[in-house]
Amino acid sequence: MASSDGAVDDASRIRREIEALKNERSDIDRQISDLETQLRGLQSKTEVVHNDGLAAHGLSPDLIYRHSRHLMLPSFGVQGQSKLSKSSVLVVGAGGLGSPALLYLAACGLGKIGIVDHDVVELNNLHRQVIHSEEYIGSPKVESAAAACLKINSTVLITKHQEALRTTNALDIVSKYDIVIDATDNAPSRYLINDCCVVLGKPLVSGAAIGMEGQLTVYNYKGGPCYRCLFPLPPPTTACQRCSDSGVLGVVPGIIGCLQALEAIKIASSVGEPLSGRMLLLDSLSTKIRIVKIRGRSSQCEVCGENSFFTPQHFKGFDYEKFTQTPLSVAPVKLSLLTPDFRITAKEYKQRIVQGEAHVLVDVRPEHHFKIVSLPNALNIPLTMIEQRVGDISSALKEKQPNSSGSSPHLYVVCRRGNDSQRAVQLLHKLGFVAARDIIGGIESWAREVDPKFPTY
């Protein structure tokens, strides 16, 4: 006992020390970043003086050396680089798509980069959000991303917008940049960013990735279509998958994010043909890349069409969450479909196990989720299979039936977060299992309230 207490004390002491050191480090980072900003101010003043002796492109000797491989490209050259250095790009979302996009944008010699993100870095982001590292877990993504960009290139001007893009701040933020990269992960943000870009006349480089697939196109570029020309109506909410729910192979958003940086660089430097009026579809499983021709600007489009009068005022008043029936924030939805009589907490369920209560626990997550981790003795019947496998539930209950004429065994349902379990209980009630109940908050609340060592994902 004594030695394990000692270990616990040691662990909490070490944690406190780590915390204190992290705080010191972020103080030092802030001081460094302030000094660098000052230094950049001074340098740009001295550069003006030296420029008298240089060519008209205005690139300093340092910048010529840094970007020499760009300058030697006949199709890019001094002209492309010079345009790039006077251009600015806003990246909305410093996640799986934004990470590689930002790294390349920081490296390429853009004048100004803006980063919008309200989130903090989490351990389960790192497999795909390669701009962040372990030391930044718990810190804002904009801080982590800006620090990584400045490590590559201390001459680029980075503006951190640590907030979600909303109708209240979007016009103000987006108007400060020439090009916008949509690297977000949800439908309302995609409509919001599109409309804002149309109102302000900014080209929009739009990328998306989920599972093993990715998509890329450029909207609102020189009379080309906007997002709404293609998708005037939002898809049903059940068709919108997020990486946090559906999974994604890390390198897939990486590829799309790199292509987003490429398209932004082409637009900023006026080099090549941006992917407007065309869409790139990546299927990484079969390594197939398709580039398809999409419709042009639609005259009927509600925001960019000939007869549309979508003004900044309309934009500010538009309810994107209502339009798409999806919240802008990443926080998972918490449904409340059942009355409290049909729900128990994870702690209560634990008590019932300890008391040896006869029961059956049905886990309604998909099979590949169940394989990651599950509660003891749980029976896996995915939500979509319940009706087909009613017989399995009945026989499991029968097996638990005590020999005496005691009360019949209880039926509990669990899922990941406590939404599907409620849907399942509603269905089970209809199918005749009138006493079925769900565990509030799913296995995530089990991990939080009962067993902190229980893995979450």
Partner 1 sequence: MQLTLEFGGGLELLCDSVKVHDVKVDGGDEKKMSMKNLLHWVRTNLIKERPEMFMKGDTVRPGILVLVNDCDWELSGQLETVLEDKDVIVFISTLHGG
Among 45, 49, 287, 293, binds partner 1 (CB under 8 A): 293
Annotation marks residue 243 as catalytic: yes
Contact 442, 345 (CB under 8 A): no
Q: Where are the alpha helices (DSSP H) in 74-230?
A: 77-85, 98-108, 141-152, 170-174, 187-200, 227-230
Contact 383, 423 (CB under 8 A): yes
Q: Does residue 209 belong to the site contacting partner 1 (CB under 8 A)?
A: yes
For partner 1, the closer CB: 28 or 291: 291
Q: Which two tokens stand for residue 392?
A: 């399995």
Which residues contact Zn ion by CB under 5 A? Answer: 226, 228-229, 301, 304
Q: Which does 226 bind (CB under 5 to 8 A by kind): Zn ion, partner 1, none?
A: Zn ion
Q: Does residue 322 belong to the site contacting partner 1 (CB under 8 A)?
A: no
Q: If 0-12 CB within 10 Å is exposed, 13-18 middle and 19+ buried, where does residue 34 land?
A: exposed
CA distance 178 to 180: 7
Closest CB 193 distance from partner 1, rounded Å: 12
Q: Does residue 207 belong to the site contacting partner 1 (CB under 8 A)?
A: yes
* Interface stretch with partner 1, choices 8-16, 77-85, 196-204, 227-235 (CB under 8 A): 227-235
Q: Does residue 302 belong to the site contacting partner 1 (CB under 8 A)?
A: no
For partner 1, the closer CB: 137 or 281: 281
Q: Where are the alpha helices (DSSP H) in 162-250?
A: 170-174, 187-200, 227-230, 243-246
CA distance 237 to 235: 6
Q: How many residues bind partner 1 (CB under 8 A)?
A: 47
- Contact mark string toward partner 1, 87..116, x via CB under 8 A: ------x-xxxx------------------
Residues 253-292 that bind partner 1 (CB under 8 A): 253, 256, 279, 281, 283, 286, 290-292
Q: Is 126 annotated as a binding residue?
A: yes
Among 242, 314, 316, 350, binds partner 1 (CB under 8 A): 242
CA distance 359 to 355: 11
Contact 360, 393 (CB under 8 A): yes
Q: Is 128 annotated as a binding residue?
A: yes
The sign of the CA dihedral 116, 121, 127, 132 is positive
- Enumerate binding residues for partner 1 (CB under 8 A): 93, 95-98, 183-187, 190, 207-211, 213-215, 230-236, 238-243, 246, 248, 253, 256, 279, 281, 283, 286, 290-295, 384
